[in-house]
Each structure stands twice: as C-alpha cells, then as structure tokens.
Amino acid sequence: MRKGEALALTWDDLEGSAVSVTKTLTLGKNNKKIIQSTKSEAGDRKVELDDETISILKEWKHQQAQELLEQ
C-alpha cells in the first residue's frame, strides 16, 4: 500500500479482515491536502490484514471513541 493510500483510509474502509483501498491523499495547490480516487480502477483493491493487526486496529478505534466521549 502506498503512503497516500494509507493516509486516506477511514474506519469505513475496514471490512472484516481487510481494508478497501479506493482513495489516496495527495497535495494540491499551496500544499492543500486532497482526497481523491486512486489513479486507475486497478488501484482499487482489498488488502487482507492478519489477526494481530485487526486486533490492534479495533483497540485503536475503541480508544478514539473513548477520547471523543471525553471531549
């Protein structure tokens, strides 16, 4: 996975034991961050994740939800 693709991921992209790669983060004029689709349809794909990574992500998502509630 390219860096821009990883930076564009959201929790909605996590599906079971995989992430859907459908967008990328890039820099536009004046270094403005832009989320856009991948360069080609072939760039859209699912990346399978191992059980340990899924567990870490679920814990991270839980921590984010807790922090949101505390604000």
pLDDT above 90 (res 57)? yes
Residue 56 DSSP one-character state:
H
pLDDT digits 0-9 by tens, 24-49: 999 999 999 999 998 887 789 999 99
Reported pTM: 0.80
User: From CA 41, how far away is CA 51, in angstroms rounded?
Assistant: 28
Beta-bridged to residue 47, according to DSSP, are 19
